[in-house]
Structure 1
Amino acid sequence: MDLRTSYQQTSHQLSGHGKRNVGVLQQAFAEVDPNQTSDHYGTGEVIARFEQKMMQELGMGDAIFFPSGTMAQQIALRIWADETGNRNVAYHPLCHLEIHEQDGLKELHHLEPILIGDEKRLMTLEQVKALPDVACLLIELPQRELGGYLPPFAELEEISRHCRERGIRLHLDGARLFETLPYYEKTAQEVCSLFDSVYVSFYKGIGGIAGAILAGPKAFCDEARIWKRRYGGDLIGLYPYIIPADYYYELRKDRMDTYYEQAKELARRFNALDGVWTTPNVPVTNMFHLHVEGDVEAVATRIRSVQDATGIGITGYLIPHDGYCSTEISVGDAVGTIDEHQLNRLFEQFER
């Protein structure tokens, strides 16, 4: 049995909110009036109500529901480039647009990304100040590919101030924005106030089906709605995504503190094992990267044996490095279904 199959056959997992099956959709619609009218090509009460709600939650001038964050963020950077007349945009080397989108920003919009900082650490204020003339700077909170690191909030404030002084638009890749709030001890509005535009996801920490919000000033969003139509983002009905986004947002927005504390405790226990460590050593959100010494075959065998013995899924994939392997743990509701005895057995098995 391979590692992925072993993980899929476990009854509990350390990451996420449980298995993403049709039940996720059914739960969200369980109490919805079947006569409720659908949205229609981007209009209608169901979409307008949710957009207004998120506009207020984020403290922005307007908000638009998109079927995907990839679509939303490419459009955001294009709008800022057009407004400033500058084809250069800046972001971290491990930004989603750089490593997961098949050069969509370059091929579709002919924008020129400038990579800022080292791929092994967060960008710094000094690096931002050294930027050449760019239309927009994108900052991801938290930096997922690094393990969920966050810059100090005071540094974010300095970066925001600098960008406004230079006329650089500041865009937030806030796919996991709500997960950052316990560490920062800020509201979503307080974080978003530092940025000109904001994207948030509703299928990651929130655990919905799919979809995203892009928020910003009214004029920016007016233009984004035109681009959404150009991209084919105005499906005849987006309600299968919007209703679960709203349902799971309300269900989980106040659980982020719990996920954060559980992630710190899991990381502490993993770091106590020989040949195992996490980044960050102490998580700053509900996620961290887990590293285990050994080649991919040996580590996969070790994890698979633990999963098979305990019924608790650690991971279904590994990324090999020089002498060790890595994976990601992102805490949600699922870990709360594991009792203390089961969790103790997991770490006892891992140590063997």
Structure 2
Amino acid sequence: MYNTPESASSKQPSLTLREAFAQTEYILPGHSDRNINVLQQAFADIDGDLSSDQYGRGQVIEDFQKQMADVLGKESAVFFPTGTMAQQIALRIWCDRHNSAKVAYHPLCHLEIHEEDGLKELHHIQSILLADQDRLITLADVKQMDQDIACLLLELPQREIGGQLPPYSELQAISEYCRKQGISIHLDGARLFEILPYYQKTAAEVCALFDSVYISFYKGIGGIAGAILAGPSDFTAESKVWKRRHGGDLISLYPYILSSKYYYEQRVGNMEQYYKEAVQLAQWMNKCTAIHTLPEVPVSNMFHIHFELPKEQIEPILIEMCQATGVGIVQYLTDKKEGAHCSTELVIGARYEHVPQDRIQKALAWLDQRLKEVTANQ
């Protein structure tokens, strides 16, 4: 039996939002808890006599690199322990080849806001920021950038603004322009497989627009860690040298490789399902009082939820919702517009299909009623 909004609101929350979320019966986002079981599942059927890789060599790593190069339609691929390492190296190689220490990307690119300026401090590369931070890079932005740029990086989808995507025709136009201008173009495809249902393209078709591409195995795929950097054979050969320089040539990477392969094969075929479920959930959420999603209609399995009330008002309500309905939708909030609004990110994965839809709808009805009460008293 659910508590009513009135009875739930009379209780003072004793848990943080993250704790309340974790204790719910049904959690909507993600694949599973990130615990040791993720590794145990991946290794359950592995032959214990299988030889490990050593310093980037061996059947385990070479077979997987070949598999991913084929999937991405590139000549060659290299497995990296982190995407941060892979992308800094990719941009360094393109800068060296163009004899220019300038790259262009979105103001909210991962390299700009999450890596402690590693690109600048380690490689002395200057970033040119294109477009306003709340919109996508367009062909017009690219045409107006400094012509001394070595490489343009595009992130698909653009995570920090809700996972938005440009029209495919815009991507094609940007790619064609860069190639005519002699500018290398790199894909931050950490979530590449998640966008394929929307574009109705294969990974190779999307990657054909780019000179190099990075993909992640712990984000949408849900592995432990690890990344692939793919491109021409001479490019990946050079990336291996830089990988060694960065300390990325661990004696063995097989726990990451085997788990990446396992979860890739488990989940890559489910991306269309996750995408459709995200569209459905966003539609329901947009009917709630003081809530809107970005994008309004998701273009992948991720979107942002924006609450039109301050974090200090929304957080206790969400804690109440977890306790009253047993459904966990949101585990953290970020202040927006000087604290007047707040938001969060939601990514649909393997968990969602196991949550009864009537439980989701009842939880959202509870939330809508509670928000109506709050906004009526504003």
Cα drift, residue 189 of structure 1: 0.3
Q: 1:96 and 2:110 equivalent?
A: yes
Q: Which of 13, 19, 22 is the matching residue for 2:36?
A: 22
Deviations 1:185-219 (A, max 9, x none): 00000000000000000001100000000000000
Provide the rounded CA distance (Å) in 1 between the counterparts of 2:33 and 2:363.
19
Q: 1:87 and 2:104 equivalent?
A: no
Cα drift, residue 310 of structure 1: 2.0
Q: 1:106 and 2:120 equivalent?
A: yes
Cα drift, residue 18 of structure 1: 1.6
Provide the rounded CA distance (Å) in 2 between the counterparts of 1:307 and 1:56.
44
Provide the rounded CA distance (Å) in 1 between the counterparts of 2:309 and 2:179.
47
Q: In the TM superposition, what are the counterparts of 1:234-273 in structure 2 within 5 Å?
A: 234-273=249-288
Provide the rounded CA distance (Å) in 1 between the counterparts of 2:32 and 2:40.
14
Provide the rounded CA distance (Å) in 2 between the counterparts of 1:321 and 1:254.
35
Provide the rounded CA distance (Å) in 1 between the counterparts of 2:114 and 2:279.
28
Amino acid at match of 2:82: S
Q: Which of 123, 129, 136 is the matching residue for 2:143?
A: 129
Provide the rounded CA distance (Å) in 1 between the counterparts of 2:37 and 2:180.
49
Provide the rounded CA distance (Å) in 1 between the counterparts of 2:78 and 2:283.
39
Note if contact 1:293-1:299 (Cα within 8 Å) is conserved in structure 2: no
Provide the rounded CA distance (Å) in 2 between the counterparts of 1:44 and 1:59.
22
More divergent stretch after superposition (340-349 vs 298-307)? 340-349
Q: Partner of 2:290 in structure 1?
A: 275
Amino acid at match of 1:346: A
Cα drift, residue 34 of structure 1: 0.8
Q: Which of 173, 177, 192 is the matching residue for 1:158?
A: 173
Cα drift, residue 11 of structure 1: 3.0
Q: Partner of 1:118 in structure 2?
A: 132
Gaps of 5+ in 2: 1-14, 370-378
Cα drift, residue 343 of structure 1: 1.3
Amino acid at match of 1:329: L
Amino acid at match of 1:242: I
Deviations 1:33-70 (A, max 9, x none): 01111111111100000000000000001000000000
Deviations 1:55-104 (A, max 9, x none): 00000010000000000000000000001101110000000000000000
Provide the rounded CA distance (Å) in 2 between the counterparts of 1:118 and 1:36.
50
When normalised by structure 2's length, the TM-score is: 0.92
Provide the rounded CA distance (Å) in 2 between the counterparts of 1:86 and 1:326.
38
Amino acid at match of 1:333: A
Q: Partner of 1:70 in structure 2?
A: 84
After superposition, the CA RMSD in angstroms is 0.8
Q: In the TM superposition, what are the counterparts of 1:134-283 in structure 2 within 5 Å?
A: 134-283=149-298
Cα drift, residue 10 of structure 1: 2.0
Q: In the TM superposition, what are the counterparts of 1:5-84 in structure 2 within 5 Å?
A: 5-84=19-98
Cα drift, residue 105 of structure 1: 0.4
When normalised by structure 1's length, the TM-score is: 0.99
Provide the rounded CA distance (Å) in 2 between the counterparts of 1:39 and 1:311.
44
SS of the residue corresponding to residue 133 of structure 2 reads coil
Provide the rounded CA distance (Å) in 2 between the counterparts of 1:57 and 1:139.
20
Amino acid at match of 1:327: T
Higher Cα Rg, which structure: 2
Gaps of 5+ in 1: none
SS of the residue corresponding to residue 87 of structure 2 reads helix
Q: Partner of 1:302 in structure 2?
A: 317
Deviations 1:253-285 (A, max 9, x none): 110000000000000000001111100000000
Give the total of aligned pairs: 352
